[in-house]
Amino acid sequence: MKALVFDRFGGPEVLEYRDIPEPVISDGHVIVRMKAIGLNFADIYRRKGNYHLTGTPPYILGYEGAGVIEQVGAGVSGLNVGDRVAFADVPFANAELVSVPSDKAIPLPDDISFEQASAVLLQGLTAHYLVHDSYPVQAGEEVLIHAAAGGVGQLLIQLCKAKGARVFGLTSSDAKKKVALEAGADEVMLYQEDWVKAVPAWSAGFEGVHVAYDSVGSTLMDSFAAVRKRGAVVFYGMSGGDPEPVDPRMLMDTSKTLTGGDLWNHVTTREDRICRGDSLFEEIRGGRLRLGEPARYRLHEGAEAHRFLEGRKSTGKILLIP
pTM: 0.93
Identity of the amino acid at 76: V
> What pLDDT does 315 receive?
72
pLDDT at 254 over 80: yes
Alpha carbon distances (Å) from 311 to 37, 212, 272, 319: 20, 27, 35, 16
Q: For 157-167, write each residue's pLDDT tens digit.
A: 999 999 999 99
Which helix (H) or strand (E) segment is 258 a member of?
strand 257-260
| Mean pLDDT of all residues in 93-106 | 98
pLDDT at 52 over 90: no
| Mean pLDDT of all residues in 293-304 | 96
Which residues make Cβ contacts (< 8 Å) with residue 299, sequence separation at least 6? 2, 3, 4, 17, 37, 94, 96, 320, 321, 322
> What pLDDT does 87 receive?
98
Alpha carbon distances (Å) from 159 to 113, 121, 144, 156, 310: 20, 14, 13, 5, 27
pLDDT at 117 over 90: yes
Percent of the chain with pLDDT over 70: 99
**259, β-bridge pairs:** 234
As a whole number of angstroms, the distance between CA 28 and CA 11 comes to: 35
Assess contact for 84 and 4: CB atoms under 8 A.
no
Q: For 307-318, write each residue's pLDDT tens digit.
A: 999 887 677 899
> What pLDDT does 221 receive?
97
Q: Could you give the domains of the chain?
A: 2-120+269-321 (3.90.180.10), 139-260 (3.40.50.720)
Q: What's the chain's average pLDDT?
A: 95
